[in-house]
Amino acid sequence: MNKDIVCIGAGYIGGPTMAVIALKNPRRKVWVVDINAERIAAWNSDNLPVYEPGLAEIVKKVRGKNLFFSTDIEGCIRKCDIIFVGVNTPTKTFGRGAGRASDLQYWESSARTISAAANRDKIVVEKSTLPVRTAEAMEKVLKTHPEHKFTVLSNPEFLAEGTAIRDLLEPDRVLIGGPRTKEGDRAVKELAAIYGTWVPKEKIVTTNLWSAELTKLAANAMLAQRVSSVNALSALCEATGADITEVARVVGLDSRIGPKFLKAGPGFGGSCFKKDVLNLVYLCETYGLKEAADYWNQVVAMNEWQQERIVTRLLSETFHTVANKRVAVFGYAFKADTGDIRETPSRHVVGMLVEEHAKVVVTDPKALPNAERDLAAMPAGSVELEPCPYAAAKGADAIILMTDWKEYTELDWKKIRRLMRSPALVYDTRNCLDLAKLAKLGFKVLAVGR
């Protein structure tokens, strides 16, 4: 068995994860392959397809030495004996389970490619987030070529976008699930050795396959549930005069609860929380656990309600009409420090504003190219994209701050006040601005949960 690694899928997970593995394992060759030739070309250029603080520096160090990006999927499968599968697993949009179940077509086609291309025994590592017991199906697909032995492991990824490199370099834990057999134990050891070059031993946790697969869904569901819980409380704060930033701060001082993931905001976005919670809902339904399914479904429903609430409140502060008013949306990325706009709350808010006939202008430091594609279907002339926040604010009646980019806290708000029309409304959905200071400058201020 050789030590070289290939990852199928050169996306947000495949690229950064393999870059760090290559950095920390200079003796191994690491290949990242994809069917998307454009994406591979971007990985081989100075303009990487994924923006992550610290990523470009690592890629620069290792690309061409022991990290390679290629479209030769079959060739790399033959070359390498450890195969990660990091392809996308979006929510199914058609047929059985549409809107909840995972669409496993990309994962299955990868499994078929591995099975057909393999020239000897391989370890296959699920890096994508998958429904529990997918490894069983993976084994069945791989067995269509029984001349080679495939050991399937589950190694879900817990990195968050925007902090991916830090999360990879200093993970809370690395999870490896494997079959409890001799080959399984050997494969788990092989995989643990890759991480063991930089992750302390006690942080590499092993479980059975099904626990590993379910843990990934469980972790995302628990995180999403915290966001929905704090957002549900933010609605009650607005109704009662309590302040969600104070409530969350003090609740978080309880060491059993802890301070993280208690920020009220426009609701969770990103490619995974909604999809993974819905996947859990579908799994519960499949196993006849209706009450458990309803419970998790409410986490998503609460998230959608939060974005509606934001627009409802804006309307109630603007005489119930934003028609023909210029509304500047500050931030289109689903969170700061990423250009990723998948499931961004900004899209829902922009959509609702366009329905109200507002003249929307969107600005973002990193996400405008993605926003342009995303908003292409909006009615012509309804949304303008503007890289400069000052130009976006010029003549605006209201600013809705949707993404907590540091750039926005550092703006010259005095200048912005001069550029806007009165009464200049600033709606801070992230609680990251100094509202007292803005009020002093003459802004009318609103914030989520306050």
Contacting residues toward ligand NAD, per CB under 6 A: 8-14, 34-36, 39, 73, 86-89, 106, 109-110, 128-129, 157, 159, 161, 271-272
Q: State the virtual CA torsion across 124, 9, 127, 366 in degrees, nearest 10.
A: 170
* Three-state secondary structure call for residue 262: coil
Q: Degrees (nearest 5) of the Cα angle 224, 225, 230? A: 100
Q: Which stretch binds ligand UGA (CB under 6 A): 54-62, 237-245, 255-263, 312-320?
A: 255-263
Q: Degrees (nearest 5) of the Cα angle 68, 114, 103? A: 95
Q: Say how far residue 173 (Cα) sits from the centre of its chain.
A: 18
334 binds ligand UGA (CB under 6 A): yes
Which one from 7, 237, 272, 284 is the annotated catalytic residue? 272
**Residue among 394, 387, 445, 384 nearest 416 (CA):** 394
Q: Which two tokens stand for residue 403?
A: 């993404």
273 binds ligand UGA (CB under 6 A): yes
Binding residue for ligand UGA (CB under 6 A) from 198, 261, 305, 390? 261
* CB atoms inside a 10 Å sphere around CB 202: 7
Q: Which residue's CB comes closest to ligand NAD?
A: 11
Binding residue for ligand UGA (CB under 6 A) from 103, 126, 161, 397? 161
Q: Which stretch binds ligand UGA (CB under 6 A): 93-101, 141-149, 262-270, 419-427?
A: 262-270
* Residue 11 interacting partner from ligand NAD, ligand UGA, none (CB closer than 5 to 8 Å by kind): ligand NAD
**Residue among 341, 330, 356 nearest 427 (CA):** 330
190 binds ligand UGA (CB under 6 A): no
* Residue 178 interacting partner from ligand UGA, ligand NAD, none (CB closer than 5 to 8 Å by kind): none
Binding residue for ligand UGA (CB under 6 A) from 49, 270, 365, 449? 270
Q: Say how far residue 156 (Cα) sits from the centre of its chain.
A: 14
Q: Which helix (H) or strand (E) holds 138?
A: helix 134-142
Letters for 73-112 (x = contact with ligand UGA by CB under 6 A, - = none) are: ----------------------------------------
Q: Which is nearer to ligand UGA, 261 or 390 (CB)?
A: 261
Interatomic CA distance for residues 178 and 212, integer angstroms: 8
Q: Which two tokens stand for residue 382?
A: 């309804």
126 binds ligand UGA (CB under 6 A): no
Binding residue for ligand UGA (CB under 6 A) from 122, 326, 335, 348? 335
Active-site annotation holds for 76: no
Q: Which is nearer to ligand NAD, 371 or 433 (CB)?
A: 371
* Residue 97 interacting partner from ligand NAD, ligand UGA, none (CB closer than 5 to 8 Å by kind): none
**Residue among 373, 271, 276, 358 nearest 314 (CA):** 358
Burial of 310 (0-12, 13-18, 19+ CB in 10 A): buried
* Residue 109 interacting partner from ligand UGA, ligand NAD, none (CB closer than 5 to 8 Å by kind): ligand NAD
**Residue among 56, 53, 58 nearest 26 (CA):** 58
Q: Which helix (H) or strand (E) holds 244?
A: helix 244-252
Active-site residue list: 272
What residues make contact with ligand UGA under the rule CB under 6 A? 129, 157-161, 220, 223, 227, 261-263, 265, 268-270, 272-273, 334-335
